[in-house]
């Protein structure tokens, strides 16, 4: 299984894009900060789905197909995992996220045969992340909502909106549209 995160160095002024092969992190063969295998009995399907990069390009939130979330130090070479979240803390099949008001909002939801119908939104406080490894499930996310028992829902898409301040909200579940 291909389970790698790659870094592409970009220069928008010159319209240049270069694959930084030395920065690649292999999420199938490496270990988490706690020493657990990235892929193994507890993480049998950790293919990266939606990498979401914070505004500083310091952290990348890598949603996983079957098993939670990794937060990666985007600046390190090679990139390194600084936070790991199990599937009980962050449900599988995250699709995307948005940054707003000092938090990263990440969704999870259905879309695979193993997890067809689910919709959750989490908020992670960016100031509480360090570039050194954190204990598992730290910093703890806030569950903004969980619609896992509502039946025919999943989360695909996110949009930044402003209403009495700045907030992140997922777009409507595609199965309920």
Q: Give the model confidence (pLDDT) of 46-86 as tens digits.
A: 888 889 999 999 999 998 887 789 999 999 999 999 999 98
pLDDT at 177 exceeding the cut of 50: no
pLDDT at 166 exceeding the cut of 70: no
Domain containing residue 13: 4-170
- Label residue 130 by pLDDT band (50, 70, 90): very high
Whether residue 89 lies inside any domain: the answer is: yes
Whether residue 119 lies inside any domain: the answer is: yes
Query: Hey, CA dihedral for 28, 71, 141, 51, is it positive or negative?
Result: negative
- Label residue 136 by pLDDT band (50, 70, 90): very high
Query: What is the total count of domains within the chain?
Result: 1
Whether residue 83 lies inside any domain: the answer is: yes
User: What is the pLDDT averaged over residues 90-99?
Assistant: 86
Whether residue 176 lies inside any domain: the answer is: no
Q: Which residue has the higher pLDDT, 59 or 164?
A: 59
28 burial via Cβ count (<10 Å: 0-12, 13-18, 19+):
middle
Q: How far apart are the C-alpha atoms of 146 and 161, rounded to whole Å?
A: 20
Whether residue 55 lies inside any domain: the answer is: yes
Q: How far apart are the C-alpha atoms of 162 and 137, rounded to whole Å?
A: 29
Residue 48's pLDDT is 86
Whether residue 175 lies inside any domain: the answer is: no
Q: What percent of the chain has pLDDT over 90?
A: 44
Q: Which residue has the higher pLDDT, 89 or 150?
A: 89
Whether residue 150 lies inside any domain: the answer is: yes
Q: Which residue has the higher pLDDT, 22 or 118?
A: 22
pLDDT at 173 exceeding the cut of 60: no
Q: How far apart are the C-alpha atoms of 152 and 125, rounded to whole Å?
A: 30
């Amino acid at each position: 299984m291909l389970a790698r995160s790659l870094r592409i160095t970009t220069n928008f002024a010159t319209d240049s894009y270069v694959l930084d092969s030395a920065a690649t992190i292999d999420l199938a063969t490496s270990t988490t900060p706690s020493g657990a295998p990235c892929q193994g009995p507890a993480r049998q399907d950790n293919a990266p789905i939606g990498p979401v990069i914070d505004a500083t390009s310091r952290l990348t939130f890598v949603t996983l197909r079957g098993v939670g979330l990794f937060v990666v130090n985007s600046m390190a070479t090679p990139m390194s995992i600084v936070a790991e979240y199990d599937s009980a803390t962050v449900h599988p099949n995250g699709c995307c996220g948005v940054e707003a008001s000092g938090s990263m909002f990440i969704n999870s939801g259905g879309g695979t045969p193993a997890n067809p119908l689910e919709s959750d939104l989490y908020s992670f406080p960016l100031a509480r992340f360090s570039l050194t490894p954190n204990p598992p499930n730290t910093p703890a996310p806030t569950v903004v909502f969980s619609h896992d028992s509502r039946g025919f829902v999943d989360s695909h898409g996110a949009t930044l909106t402003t209403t009495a301040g700045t907030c992140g909200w997922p777009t409507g579940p595609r199965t309920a549209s």
